[in-house]
Structure 1
C-alpha cells in the first residue's frame, strides 16, 4: 500500500527503486499525450471543436510520428526524478508522522500534508529538466539533446531560466500530489474492502502486507488512480496552465532552426499574476482550463500507470522478500 506501514517487510530504499521503475513505465506510456497537451496549452487562439484531432494530425504531417516522442529522453529523466522522489518522500514523511499521538480523524489531513511535501520536493528537483523538456517538445531543433537544450535555455535567460514557472509549479504540484495520494489511499481502501472476501484466505493474518489478492489490488489501484488523477489535476489545473506558459517565458525563436507552425505564436508570460490576468482578460474564465480534456486524460493515465505499477512492483518485491 502507498505510504508507510509498520508491517511492510520491504524497506524505504526498495520502495524508491519501485518508484523509479514506475516512473520509467509511466513516461513510456504517456509521452505522446504530454506533447499534445503542451501544444494545446500554449496556443494563443481560442479552442475550437476537434482541436485535439487537428493538433495531432498537424504534428504527424509536419514533424512525423517521432515528434510525439520529442523530449522523451529528458522526459524519462524527469519522470524518474519526479515520480521516484514523490513516492520516496511520501514514504519517508508518512513514516515520520506514523508514531505521532494524534486523533485518528486528523490523519487524512496529515497524510495530505505529507503529499504536499512530496510534491514540492519533486517539483524543485525536477523543474530544470522540465523547462528544457517543454521547450524541446515545442521547437525540437532549437533545444535538441540535454546539453544543447540546457545551453540555449541559459542563453535565453541565464541561470534563473531553468526555474521559470517555479512559483506556479509549487502552487500546483504541492496540493496536486497531496490530493492525489489522499484520494488514492481513501478510494483504494474502499474498493479493496468491497472486493476482498474474508473467506478467500482462511487463517490469513491481518499483519500480512500482501494480504490482498493481486487481481483485487490491481483493480483497486487502477480505479483509485483514475479518480486521483481526475480530482487532483482538475482542482489545480489553472496553475498547470500558468506553469507551462511561464516555462517558455524567456524563449525566443531563432531563424536558424525549423519552427513548427504550432510553435510560432505562443502564449508566454514572466510572472504568475501577469499570466493569470492576461489569461482571464483574453479568454475569460474558460481560458484557465484550456487543454483540460487532454490534460485530464493524460493525468488519469499517468496516475493509473504510476500507482498501479508501483503497487504491483512492491507486491512482487514482498513475495521475493518473504
Structure 2
C-alpha cells in the first residue's frame, strides 16, 4: 500500500528504491506520449482547428523520424527517478507522522495535505531538470545533452531561467499528487476486496511477508486505481500544467544554426502565470485551458497506472525477499 502502514516490514529507504525503479520503467513507456502532448500544448491554434493526436504524431514521424519520440529521454529518466522517488519518499515520511500523531477523525484531511506537500517538494526539486528537458524535446539539436542544455538555458535567462513556471508547477503538482495518492489509497483496497478476499488461515502463503493478496490481484487493482487517480488528478489541475509548459519556454531563443522542426515552430509562450491563464481563455476560449487534454489524459492514465502498479509490485517482491531471506 502506498504511504505508511503500521505493520509494513519495508523501511522508507526500501520504498525509495521501489520509487526509483517504478519511475524509470514508467518514463520509458510513456516518453513518446509525452513528446506528442508537449507539442500539442505549445502549438498555436491553426485557422482550421487544433492539431490533434494523429496529425501531430504523423508530423513528428515525417519531419524528425521515430527517434524524435525519445528526445530528451536520458534527462527524462533522471527527472522521473527524482520526481517519483521524492514523491513516494516524502509521502511515506509525512503519512507516518500523521498516522502516529493525528486524531483518527482528522486523518483523511491531513493525509490529503501529505500528498500536496509531497508534490510541492518534488516539483521544486526537479523543475531545473524539467526546463532543460522540455526544451530538448522541442529542439534537440539546439539543447543537446544535459550539460550543453543547462548552459543554453542559463545563457537564455540566467539562474532564474531554470525556475520558469515554478509557481504553475507547484499549483499543478501539489493538488495533483494529493488527489492521486488520496484516490489510489481509497480505490485500490475497494478493488482488492471485491476481486480477491483477504488471505486468511494456515493456507495463506504470503502472510509472513505482510503481503495479504496474490501479486496478480495487486497488479490488477493497482493499475485500475492508479489510472483512475491519474485521470482525476490531471483533469482537475490541467490548466496549470498547460501554463507551466508555456512558461518554461518563455526565455527560449531560437538558434538559426539549429532550427526547430516545423512541428516545433510558432510556439505559444507566457511570462506570467495569471497573464497566461487569462490570455489563453480570451484567445482560445475556456476550452483553450484544456488544449492537448486528450493526449495528456491518455499519457497520464498510462503513466499513473504503470507507476502505481510497478511500485506496488516492487514493494511486494521486496517484502517476499525480506521475509524469506532476511
Q: TM-score, normalised by structure 2?
A: 0.95
Matches within 5 A, 1:1-322: 1-46=1-46, 48=49, 51-104=52-105, 106-198=106-198, 201-203=200-202, 204=204, 209-322=210-323
Q: Which deviates more from structure 2 when the two are superposed, residues 188-197 or residues 122-131?
A: 188-197
Counterpart CA distance in 2 for 1:234 and 1:123 is: 18
Whether the 8 Å contact between 2:98 and 2:107 is mirrored in structure 1 is no
Return closer, same or farther for 1:56/1:270 CA change in 2, 3 Å cut-off: same
Return closer, same or farther for 1:194/1:208 CA change in 2, 3 Å cut-off: farther
Gaps of 5+ in 2: none
User: 1:256, CA displacement in angstroms?
Assistant: 1.1
Whether the 8 Å contact between 2:209 and 2:322 is mirrored in structure 1 is no
Gaps of 5+ in 1: none
Whether the 8 Å contact between 1:34 and 1:298 is mirrored in structure 2 is yes
User: Runs (4+) of structure 1 moved beyond 3 Å?
Assistant: 46-50, 203-208
Aligned length, in residue pairs:
320
Counterpart CA distance in 2 for 1:103 and 1:20 is: 31
Whether the 8 Å contact between 1:142 and 1:257 is mirrored in structure 2 is yes
The SS at the match of 2:7 is coil
What is the aligned-residue RMSD (CA, Å)?
1.5
User: 1:50, CA displacement in angstroms?
Assistant: 6.5
The SS at the match of 2:318 is helix
Whether the 8 Å contact between 2:9 and 2:209 is mirrored in structure 1 is no
Counterpart CA distance in 1 for 2:275 and 2:285 is: 14
Counterpart CA distance in 2 for 1:208 and 1:66 is: 43
User: 1:207, CA displacement in angstroms?
Assistant: 8.9
Q: TM-score, normalised by structure 1?
A: 0.96
The SS at the match of 1:141 is helix
Counterpart CA distance in 2 for 1:174 and 1:215 is: 31
Whether the 8 Å contact between 1:7 and 1:208 is mirrored in structure 2 is no
User: 1:49, CA displacement in angstroms?
Assistant: 6.5
Per-residue CA deviations over 1:152-210 (Å, capped at 9, x if unaligned) read 10111110000000000000000000000000010001111112224x54245989630
Q: Which deviates more from structure 2 when the two are superposed, residues 82-91 or residues 204-213?
A: 204-213
